[in-house]
Structure 1
Amino acid sequence: MMNRRLFLQKACGGVLLLAASPSLISCDRQQHPVRFGIVTDLHYSRREPYGTRYFPQTMDKLKEAIKVFNQSNLDFVIELGDLKDQDNVPQREQTITYLDEIEKEFQTFQGPVYHVLGNHDMDSISKDDFLQHTSNHGDADKKTYYSFTFNGLKFIVLDANHNLDGAPYDKGNFDWTKAFIPKEQVMWLQGELKEKNKPIIIFIHQLLDRFSDIGKELCVSNADDIVPLLEENGNVLAVFQGHHHAGHYSFRNNIHYWTMKGMIEGNLPDNNSFAVVEIDPQNNIHIDGFYNCEDKDLNRNL
């Protein structure tokens, strides 16, 4: 766990490093790594705390994360789902208010931002509601799954928020233990993976590493069909996931599966979770974690 004093030292150190290395901004991929900020599972609302979840506090947690992100020379910021929550007695209009409030803060990042859909994003609203009240950068806007590129790296965002019959999660009409990627999206993914001249990063809310020791109820139900597609491509570096607030890590066939700890967990001032991820020109990944999010290196050739 990172205490506040250590956090401030780390953040200030990052600012000094950037100030000393202005040439990195204009260099190509041979010299310039790709850097992005990442958060997950904010579950923002103004409902009363429940267990270890302090729903209103994620607004201040996100403000702290965005402040660091805006000082860190990032290419983009992404959140991995469950951006908002709902009241004990859910009402669509109030839920949308929570979404608007947290999205407004998320958009204060001074650069491109992206969303991954999580199951709680459709707890009392529809996917269309979520899309109409959030914005992704560029061509990814108003899409639940999409791809984009930065500096020679390809990023693919998946949406597993479907019932087993392929119907999208809608206003709480779903079983969160049965996430599913429908055939149409699988076919789209196959097309995206045909491009084999770029390293690839996958973003998804629910977990794909169903082969690991993680509880299967946390995983995409047809993950065993998806993972071989990633492995066949040969250039997938890592899968970044949310959903499991405690975090998790696994590795198979040269692909890292890193599940980020949820921002919602724990009380201020000592608890938060966010990270700056850097992918170097050799495709090694360094996760610079803050507070409950630990640092981790995900090297390409293990």
Structure 2
Amino acid sequence: MKLLLIIVCVGLLSTTLLACRSIIVPPGKTQNKFSFGIIADCQYHNEEGSGVRKYAKSKEKLESCVTHFNSLDLTYIIHLGDFIDRDYESFDVVVPIYNKLKMPKYHVLGNHDFSVSDDMNEKVPRKMGMSSSYYDFEVKGWRFIVLNGNDISFHAYPKYSKEYNFASTYYIQNKVSSPKWNGAIGEEQMVWLKKKLEKATKKNEKVIVYCHFPVYPENIHNLWNAHEVIALLENYPVVKGYVNGHNHKGNYGFKNGIHYLTFKGMVDTKETAYGIVMIFTDYIEVLGYGREVNRILKISD
């Protein structure tokens, strides 16, 4: 009985410490303003998968992650795209799990989210609970801008549709060297982004931009018009970070005051991968779980 009691106590202590990890402030650090959770590339499918890619295991990994998030005081959760690997029916497995989150929850659209039959493409955003494919929201003086990198895409529209043909023309005329499974931000969305950045500047808000596709450092996974997006972001010093998924290995770069952070894919591991982000006055702290790494990202006014 004593042995059983010790085991139970140790287990409870471990769980408590894990739950408190994101709210314990080390000596010398100021209390964080708020914290939120990030997941990238759950990419569920009922196929077991091969190599490092474990599609079916994403269900239990997502369940565990949601349980952990619900035990913490987090402002919101965001998934950075590729919620499924393929097949519209895959949403029926992971959407109910994600919807168990007790706090506000958001999605970014990924290329694999549109790996469904052509007649189901336009239903994907609504299935994921999205009223718009790109949008923004504010938390305590921070503006979070969610982009749709499938705006110009071979994946997001029925084959040979007007939008598909436009993507084909764009790809050829711009001599895009990035693979066709990436995409681009369209002109209308770029205008919208500029207006949001101008508004954030006037309100003295700090900005983090979310997208499924990276833009920096140079990488095979980057948006087709990555340089155009970077040029726009760098015009606004209020932009402190650009956060994405897509490259399951993860990545990081810093350029002209902006942190470019790629979260590791949850699907590519027997373990898991997700993070908790803590916003402080002059830095951002990332607490990595599973194979996601810890980071301290300095920010300036």
Q: TM-score, normalised by structure 1?
A: 0.80
Deviation of the 1:127 alpha carbon: 4.3
1:107-131 residue CA offsets vs partner (Å, 9 max, x unmatched): 1110100000000001124442212
Maintained 8 Å contact 2:32/2:279? no
Query: Which letter does structure 1 place at the counterpart of 2:195?
Result: G
1:99 partner letter:
F
1:89 — aligned with what?
none
Aligned twin of 2:95: 103
User: Judging changes above 3 Å, is the alpha-carbon distance between structure 1 residues 148 and 127 closer, same or farther for their aligned structure 2 residues?
Assistant: farther
State the SS of the aligned residue for 1:227: helix
Alpha-carbon contact 2:37-2:277 (below 8 Å) kept: yes
Q: Is 2:194 the counterpart of 1:207?
A: no
Relative to structure 1, the CA distance from residue 8 to residue 65 in structure 2 (aligned partners, 3 Å threshold; closer, same or farther) is farther
* Distance of 1:225 and 1:20 partners within structure 2: 40
Q: Which residue of 2 aligns with 1:83?
A: 83
| 4+ residue runs over 4 A deviation | 7-11, 16-21, 171-175
1:120 alignment partner, one of 90, 112, 124: 112
Residue 62 of structure 2 corresponds to which residue in structure 1?
62
Provide closer, same or farther for how the CA distance between residues 186 and 18 of structure 1 changes in structure 2, counting only shifts above 3 A: closer
- Paired with 2:245 and 2:145, the residues of 1 have a C-alpha distance of 15
Distance in 1 (alpha carbons) for counterparts of 2:156 and 2:125:
13
Tell me if the contact between 1:81 and 1:116 (Cα under 8 Å) persists in the aligned partners. yes
Aligned partners of 1:10 and 1:300: how far apart in 2?
33
Q: Choose from 240, 250, 254 the match for 2:253.
A: 250
* Whole-angstrom distance in 2 between the partners of 1:245 and 1:19: 27
Cα-to-partner distance string for 1:144-203 (whole Å, 9 max, x where unaligned)? 100000111100000111336xx8722576864441100000000010010211000111
Question: Which amino acid is 2:46 matched to?
Answer: R
Indicate if the aligned counterparts of 2:122 and 2:157 stay in contact, CA closer than 8 A. Answer: no
Contact 1:199–1:283 under 8 Å retained in 2: no
User: Which amino acid is 1:123 matched to?
Assistant: S
Aligned with 2:196 (options 192, 199, 210)? 192
Q: 1:18–1:276: structure 2 CA closer, same or farther, 3 Å change rule?
A: closer
Measured against aligned partners, the alpha-carbon deviations of 1:228-276 in whole angstroms (never above 9, x if no partner) come to 2111111111111100000000000110000000000122xxx100111
How much has 1:48 moved relative to structure 2? Answer: 3.1
Query: CA 1:243 to 1:16, structure 2 compared with 1: closer, same or farther past 3 Å?
Result: closer
Q: CA RMSD in A?
A: 2.6
Pair 1:132-2:126 in alignment: yes
Superposition deviation, residue 18 in structure 1 = 7.9
Larger Rg: 2
SS at match of 2:234: helix
1:64 to partner: Cα distance: 1.1
Query: Retained in 1: the 8 A contact 2:48–2:57?
Result: no
Residues 202 and 239 of structure 1 are in contact (CA less than 8 Å); yes or no, is this contact kept in structure 2?
Answer: yes
Whichever residue aligns with residue 292 of structure 2, its letter is C
Q: Which runs of 5+ in 2 are unaligned?
A: 1-10, 168-178
- Which stretches in structure 1 are left out of the alignment for 5+ residues? 1-6, 22-29, 87-94, 136-140
